[in-house]
Amino acid sequence: MGDIENRPRTAIQLKSVNNFRHLLDELPASLQSLAESVSVLALDLRWTWSHEGDAVWARIDPELWEKTENPLLVQQNMTRARLEKLEQDTELKQQLKRLLATYEQYCERPGWFGETYPQSALKKVAYFSMEYGLHDLLKIFCGGLGTRLREHSDTIPKPLVNIGYRPIIWHLMRYYAYHGHKDFVLCLGYRGDLIRKFFLEYNECMSNDFVMSDGGNKIELLGSDIDDWRITFVDTGLHANIGERLVAVRRFVEDEDVFLANYSDGLSDLPLNTIIESYSNHDAIASFVAVRSAQSFHSVRVDATGQVAGFGPIDHSGLWINGGYFVLGKKIFDYVEPGEELVVKPFQRLIAEKKLSAVKYDGFWQSMDTFKDKITFDRMYARGERPWEK
């Protein structure tokens, strides 16, 4: 099989100790122990909500950790050369030892069920969740709390969750800029200060080629991302809904006959002119993109007697969902009453007047709602599969 360190990087994926025992067996005992310790901690999915091990993963593979913040990807890309280097890092091994001790203590605890029903014959109960606790003028709604992406959104707003080197809001704005829409209004709410800080401290070098000379004192950019963007930052309230955020920035768009809006939590390769044309062709006041759900749910059809008449993946059910890409006319403000959510009563009023249209799109669309979605984006980015990039 040859030396491990001479294989392609993608071949060194210790996805689990059991599945890759033949790789571990080629390592000396000291490296086996280190690799198994890393594997145990990476496969302990408590890291989706606990950040006590972040410093360790950053120390093991700083570059990959910065891109993904995903211990599984760090573990899967371990090489013998890296393990040999880590074996010499005494401080790291001490940190790993402490984390393993904490993990073992956690595993020994009886948990809620054991503590509540100590006399039960059942000693362990597993709880399963679909998310695994996982966790023109263009108006971008980026003020929500992001509760389903809690392990990130406890500390940063969801629009700042990274895909590669840049947050999802940057990828979205770059998509619009490619189509010629570079005048943005950001509707800020939860941790809006961090979104302001991101752009105020924006470093073009992180996503563009450049030439450095004079010992780092001179930087010559070979490309630019945002030099021709215009961004208006507006605080629209911590707990405001989408309709309230829309009304809060009315003064910035009311002179426009038509403007675009987006939820800021999904990416697509949608030909943007398609939805704009649909808006114009339907004499609509609002139009949006309807997409297939990317979730792994199953839809069920049940008749009046309780007999199941149909069962299958939700993306095969004929169901379409709101993709969060909008074209809105300035008359939209006449349909939104104080405190109303945009897509509830205002859209019902538009439907009644046949002023709401939609474009069905079967191409790429993916939202960032859960930690599983972030992992999907991270893996696509690492493979170079970035259909939203133009």
Q: Encode pLDDT of 193-220 as tens digits.
A: 999 999 999 888 887 788 998 888 888 8
Task: Let me know whether 101 and 144 are in one domain.
Answer: no
Q: Quote the pLDDT of residue 336.
A: 95
Least confident of 36-45, 70-79, 105-114, 137-146: 137-146
Domain count for the chain: 2
Whether residue 185 has pLDDT greater than 80: yes
Q: Domain holding 159: CATH number? A: 3.90.550.10
Task: Let me know whether 149 and 65 are in one domain.
Answer: no
Residue 388 located in a structural domain: no
Residue 122 located in a structural domain: no
List phi, psi (to 5°) of 110.
-70, -20
- pLDDT-derived band at 2 (thresholds 50, 70, 90) equals very low
pLDDT tens digits for 307-335? Answer: 888 887 766 677 889 999 999 999 999 99
Whether residue 44 has pLDDT greater than 50: yes
Task: Let me know whether 104 and 251 are in one domain.
Answer: no
Whether residue 370 has pLDDT greater than 60: yes
What is the C-alpha to C-alpha distance for residues 363 and 376, in angstroms, rounded to an integer? 16
Query: Which residue segment(s) compose the domain that 66 sits in?
Result: 4-112
Task: Let me know whether 217 and 262 are in one domain.
Answer: yes
Using DSSP, state whether 115 is helix, strand or coil. Answer: helix
Q: What is the mean pLDDT of residues 12-37?
A: 59
Q: Quote the pLDDT of residue 49.
A: 64
Whether residue 283 has pLDDT greater than 80: yes
Contacts of 197 (CB under 8 A, 6+ apart): none
Whether residue 9 has pLDDT greater than 70: no
Task: Let me know whether 95 and 65 are in one domain.
Answer: yes
Residue 128 located in a structural domain: no
Residue 249 located in a structural domain: yes
- pLDDT-derived band at 110 (thresholds 50, 70, 90) equals confident
Residue 88 located in a structural domain: yes
Q: What is the mean pLDDT of residues 123-138?
A: 44
What is the C-alpha to C-alpha distance for residues 113 and 125, in angstroms, rounded to an integer? 7
Q: Of 82, 112, 142, which marks where a domain is finished?
A: 112
293-318 as b/e: b if 16+ CB within 10 A: bbbeeeeeeeeeeeeeeeeeebbebe
What is the C-alpha to C-alpha distance for residues 186 and 168, in angstroms, rounded to an integer? 14
Q: What is the mean pLDDT of residues 55-65?
A: 87
Least confident of 5-9, 29-33, 335-339: 5-9
pLDDT tens digits for 223-281? Answer: 888 889 999 999 998 888 999 999 999 999 888 899 999 998 899 999 998 888 888 88
What is the C-alpha to C-alpha distance for residues 310 and 361, in angstroms, rounded to an integer? 24
Task: Let me know whether 256 and 226 are in one domain.
Answer: yes
Share of the chain above pLDDT 90, in %: 31
Q: Both tokens of residue 76?
A: 């899967």
Task: Let me know whether 179 and 239 are in one domain.
Answer: yes
Task: Let me know whether 108 and 153 are in one domain.
Answer: no
Q: Quote the pLDDT of residue 133.
A: 33
List phi, psi (to 5°) of 383.
-85, -5
Contacts of 81 (CB under 8 A, 6+ apart): 5
Question: What rounded mean pLDDT belongs to the chain?
Answer: 80
Q: What is the mean pLDDT of residues 183-199?
A: 91
Q: Which residue has the higher pLDDT, 252 or 69?
A: 252
Residue 61 located in a structural domain: yes
Residue 57 located in a structural domain: yes
Task: Let me know whether 237 and 357 are in one domain.
Answer: yes
Residue 224 located in a structural domain: yes
Task: Let me know whether 104 and 143 are in one domain.
Answer: no
Task: Let me know whether 49 and 145 are in one domain.
Answer: no
Q: DSSP per residue over 252-294, as a string?
A: HHTT-SEEEEE-SSEEE---HHHHHHHHHHTT-SEEEEEE---
Task: Let me know whether 245 and 366 are in one domain.
Answer: yes
